[in-house]
Structure 1
Amino acid sequence: MGDLQVIGTGFGRTGTLSLKRALDRLGFGPTYHMQEALRRPSHLRAWREYSRTGVIDWDEVLGPYRSTVDYPTCLAWRELADRYPGAKIVHTVRDAERWWESTATTIYQGRTVLPHWFRGLYGPAGDYGEVNERLLWQGLFGGRFEDRDHAIAVYRRHTAEVANGLDPERLLIFEVADGWAPLCRFLGVPEPDEPFPHVNDAAWMRRRITAVRYGTRALPVAAAGVGLVGSRLVSRRGGGR
């Protein structure tokens, strides 16, 4: 069993990437984030199985990691907190309205960014879509994320469940805007002599989503165009014989 030391229970879009960078800097890395799963098809397959059955080999997925943040691990926080009783819990939060707006315009758009034909053609894309749909959009939010009031109620309930379900001495409710001081004090490490890594990747994500959306929609058109040109060349060559 790996030695997980910090478990992040906050939802995505609450500063989880900033927290990942901070934990890595403080010596609690490598830190598991959704980005790690996206780089590893075997992890996406493991999460797909978890989304279907609730079964996952934590040693296989988290073995080399010392901390976790973001989706999908924050959705398994109870299981991880029980499995790693010595780990401290950092729960990232932000204004609920701003959290919903950020999520709605970034990762929620991922539901439709890839066409079904592409998901079927490229296995990891299909696995990623299924994991998010089962665990997040249909699971956590019950298919009602677009209902702002419902989604925000889920967000607030999650924070209450984390706060009420853990020993207070084990838990830090953390806003990344507060910087190093509360995090380092909670983890018992000195503050680095450098700015806290505030990573605001929302604009980058929106640009990437737009690029992928248009790119995958353009592929069939481009392929059809190449096929048409090829058939005409073959026809002309055949006609000249």
Structure 2
Amino acid sequence: MASVSDGELLVIGAGFGRTGTLSLKAALDMLGYRTYHMKEVASNRGHDEAWRAAARDQMAGRPTDWRAMFGPGGYTATVDWPSARFYKELLAAYPGAKVVLSVRESFDTWYESVSESIYPSSMTGLQVRPPPWLAPWFSNYTSHYSMVDEVIWTGTFDGRFEDRNFARQVYEAHIAEVKRVVPPAQLLVFSARQGWAPLCAFLGRQQPSPDTPFPHVNDKADFNQGLGARQRRARLYNNIILASNAALAAALAAGVGLAVRVLRGHRRRVD
């Protein structure tokens, strides 16, 4: 088996976000993998733009250098968005990898979870739109939410996530396509509620001791604890932008007023 330092993907998560992907990441890490997840994007400089480039490559039919994405960090597994959108390309690049399709009990359960967590969080982040002269100070923040929108809300759901019936079609079509594309021997359809047994059997890994529970993290309550902080941050950023724009407008007005007074004084002296 490849070591962590090899950076060869051994496990590809094809499940959408909010299907227990953070619990799956925690479980894979406990089994010895180094697992990429949306949370890893922030700790890898340049990855927001790299994922946006991957989305454009996908649309244009161009290849993406996945080893440049995962190799430097030594990742041997990836789950969650953004990588779940690219499971076909990843499987082509790592044909020996196993694919885990994480799912919820039903579409409705998943949709309600997303609608009360990552979707409003993303919409809050997208509201921060600094003017060009302030953009460099907000680039990390705005770049992340632009990537999330390009890969997920616009790129996957065509800007129509709030249309529940359309979102259902996308969700169910994705699951059906994963099952169609991935060879059965390389695919596990998995719910975190199933625990260790099916995951370990599929991956050929020894199951942790009976007193080690399967991790269950980042449920809706956990996520929403941080949602308020993210919303407050967005409001703070927007207040800074408004105050900065007001200060700039005042400075420009003062400058124009001073210029007018200087010109008037000059004209009087000339007259």
Aligning the two structures, in what range does the TM-score lie when normalised by the shorter sequence? 0.7 to 0.9
- Compared CA separation, residues 129 and 216, structure 1 to 2 (3 A): closer
Matches of 2:238 and 2:84, distance apart in 1: 37
Instruction: Give the Å deviation of 1:219.
Output: 5.1
Aligned to 1:113: 124
1:67-106 matches, within 5 Å, as: 67-94=77-104, 95-106=106-117
Tell me the amino acid that sits aligned with residue 202 of structure 2. Answer: F
Q: Unpaired runs of 5+ in structure 2?
A: 1-5, 248-271
The code of the aligned residue for 2:111 comes to W
In the other structure, the counterpart of 2:260 is none
- Partners of 1:36 and 1:222 lie apart in 2 by 28
Find the counterpart in structure 1 of residue 261 from structure 2.
Answer: none
After TM superposition, the score normalised by the length of structure 2 is 0.77
8 A contact 2:121–2:231 mirrored in 1: no
Segment of structure 1 superposing worse, 200-209 or 137-146:
200-209
Are 1:202 and 2:220 counterparts?
yes
Instruction: Give the partner amino acid of 1:110.
Output: S
Contact 1:51 1:131 in 2 (8 A): no
Instruction: Tell me which of 184, 200, 205 is aligned to 2:200.
Output: 184
Cα-Cα RMSD: 2.3
Partners of 1:132 and 1:104 lie apart in 2 by 15
* Aligned match of 1:165: 181
Matched residue SS, 1:14? coil
Q: 1:65 to 1:219 in 2, by over 3 A?
A: closer
Q: 5 Å matches for 1:140-155?
A: 140-155=156-171
The letter of the residue matching 2:235 is R
What are structure 1's unaligned runs of at least 5 residues?
229-241
* Mean CA deviation greater in 195-204 or 98-107: 195-204
Alpha carbons of structure 1 residues 56 and 82: separation in structure 2 relative to 1, 3 Å: closer
* Shift in alpha-carbon separation, 1:51–1:127, aligned structure 2, 3 A: farther
Q: Is the 8 A contact 1:33 1:71 kept in 2?
A: yes
Deviations, residues 23-76 of structure 1 (Å, cap 9, x unaligned)? 11111x210101111222311121122233445431121111100100000000
Question: Percent sequence identity over matched residues?
Answer: 42
How far the C-alpha of 1:106 sits from its partner, in A, is 1.0
Is the CA contact 1:89–1:171 (under 8 Å) kept in the aligned structure 2?
Answer: yes
SS of structure 1 residue aligned to 2:121: helix
TM-score where L is the length of structure 1: 0.86
The counterpart of 1:39, out of the listed 27, 38, 43, is 43
SS at match of 2:52: helix
CA distance in 1, matches of 2:238, 2:156: 34
In 2, distance between residues paired with 1:220 and 1:146? 24
Bigger-Rg structure (1/2): 2
* Equivalence for 1:234: none
- Bigger drift between 75-84 and 47-56 goes to 47-56
Q: Distance in 1 between matches of 2:143 and 2:238?
A: 22
Check the 8 A contact 1:9/1:91 in 2, yes or no: yes
Report the equivalent of 1:233: none
8 Å CA contact retained: 1:14, 1:92: yes
- Partners of 1:172 and 1:96 lie apart in 2 by 18
